[in-house]
A and B are shown apart, each in its own frame.
Chain A
Amino acid sequence: MIFSPYLRVTPKKGYTLLIMTLVSMIVFGVFAIRPSLVTVATLKKQVADLESVNESMKLKVQNLATAQTIYLENKPHLYLVDASMPDENVVPQFIQDISTKVALAGSSLEAIKVTKGGKNEDLLEYQISMSVACTYPQLTGILTFLEKSLLTSNVTSVSVRPHQKGAYSIQAEINVSLYQYEGN
């Protein structure tokens, strides 16, 4: 390739020098400056990502420290959570509790029926229907006992009618939803 005419004639010389400059700039830009800048950009992105991760980890460690403090403060009361929502079958304990309560109240637990319900948000529901022969004050006591029971439950309905036999004045059908934790 002969450059002489392009470098000798003034207008052509100007264009040639301009093209050479542009070509050089492009070559340097593409093969020298761009990789360097790409490297720096990559490293900067890596630093930003690591900073984000580091901040998250710091926050997590701080939260863990706070959680540990809260846990230690509340540890003496956590048995209540274990008792109210045990991860084992709660029905036997419930039946034992209500039988004891009914007996102590001087009432009579005539029938009890347990139906396993569905599971919702780690809570397995049991529907318990029981028939109790008692007096009205005894019924109030039983309902209050059920409401204040440590086990997580909800008395959904009570149906009362006069009792036909014995010393008890009423027959109460009590329906309870009992919940068991199945998270683990």
Chain B
Amino acid sequence: MKFFQKPNKIPNIASQGINLLPERTFEEQPTGEKIFIWLVGVGRVLIIVTEMTAILVWLSRFRLDYQITTLQENIEENAALVQSSARFEETFRDYQHRLLLADKVESERFPISLVTEKISSLIPQDIILSSLVVRQGEIGLSAQANRSLDFAKLLETLLSQSEITEVSLQDTHYNRDDNTYEFTLNLKTSEKFGL
């Protein structure tokens, strides 16, 4: 019976160095300790803030990308509608333009028939017209009157019209042969004359 068995080979520990002092880790080094403290303090906060920002941006990009996609789809849809109505739009704009032009011409239109009728109604029957020229804002007439009273009556009638702004007698002479007065009048009228 064997109580003790001799090892076949005893390890030679005498040749190995023994270090009883614990090794100093990086954190225990004077410089490393300070850097380590900074890293786990300020550095950690900085990294967390940076990562939080990056994550927030990453998440917000999802929302923004979704919005962009939706908007682009809507725009494409509406653009197709607008494109399909292009011909109608052109027609509509053309009519609008023509109406505006017609309205402009209409607003500048001179109511010549009304003006002619009005000036004719102001001339007494005894006055014989030899010429009448009607333009916008201006009327010229040459006539003859058998009596000076008729001429005076015409002048009085013309001057009583508020729409006639100016009456100028251009030429007048008395014809002794047939006892008539020949005269030429130029009238300036306002835009309301005849209306």
* Contact between B68 and A43, CB atoms less than 8 A apart: yes
Interface presence of A99 (CB below 8 A)? no
A159, B64: Cβ atoms under 8 Å?
no
Query: Which of B2-10, B20-28, B104-112 is near enough to bind chain A?
Result: B104-112
- Which interface class (under 10, 10 to 19, 20 to 34, 35 or more) fits A? 35 or more
Residues of B contacting A32 in the complex (Cβ-Cβ under 8 angstroms): 50, 53-54
- Do A158 and B75 form a contact, CB below 8 Å, given A121-B101, A122-B97? no
27 residue pairs from A and B, CB less than 8 Å apart: A7-B30, A8-B31, A20-B42, A21-B42, A33-B53, A39-B61, A40-B57, A43-B64, A47-B68, A50-B75, A54-B78, A57-B79, A67-B88, A71-B92, A85-B102, A140-B116, A143-B116, A152-B101, A152-B102, A154-B109, A155-B110, A155-B112, A157-B136, A162-B130, A179-B101, A181-B98, A183-B97
Interfacial chain A residues near B152, Cβ < 8 Å: none
- Further pairs besides A37-B53, A60-B82: 9, Cβ < 8 Å: A32-B54, A33-B54, A44-B64, A58-B78, A64-B88, A140-B113, A143-B116, A155-B110, A155-B112
| Interface residue from B34, B75, B116 paired with A17 (Cβ < 8 Å) | B34
B60 in complex: contacting residue of A25, A40, A139, A152, CB < 8 Å: A40
What residues of chain A lie closer than 8 Å to B91, measured between beta carbons?
71
Q: In the complex, which residues of chain A have a beta carbon less than 8 angstroms from the beta carbon of B53?
A: 32-33, 36-37
CB atoms of A61 and B81 under 8 A apart? yes
Instruction: Say yes or no: is B46 at the interface (Cβ < 8 Å to chain A).
Output: yes
Mask for B84-108, Cβ within 8 A of A = 1, else 0? 0100110110110111011011101
Interface status of B135 (Cβ within 8 A of chain A): yes
Distance (Å) between the CB of A106 and the closest chain B CB? 18
Q: A36 touching B54 by the CB < 8 A rule?
A: yes
Question: Contact: A33 with B133, CB < 8 Å?
Answer: no
- Is B97 a contact partner of A64 (Cβ separation < 8 A)? no
A23-B129 Cα distance, complex, nearest whole Å:
105
Q: Give the contacts of A15-44 with B (CB-CB under 8 A).
A: 17, 20-21, 24-25, 28, 32-33, 36-37, 39-40, 43-44
Binding site for A on B (CB under 8 A): 30-31, 34-35, 38, 42-43, 46-47, 49-50, 53-54, 57-58, 60-61, 64-65, 67-68, 71-72, 74-75, 78-79, 81-82, 85, 88-89, 91-92, 94-95, 97-99, 101-102, 104-106, 108-113, 116-117, 120, 129-136
Q: Do A50 and B64 touch (CB < 8 A)?
A: no
Residues of B contacting A152 in the complex (Cβ-Cβ under 8 angstroms)? 101-102, 105-106
Binding site for B on A (CB under 8 A): 3-4, 7-8, 13, 17, 20-21, 24-25, 28, 32-33, 36-37, 39-40, 43-44, 46-47, 50-51, 53-54, 57-58, 60-61, 64, 67-68, 71, 78, 81, 84-85, 121-123, 136, 139-140, 143-144, 147, 152-162, 179, 181, 183-184
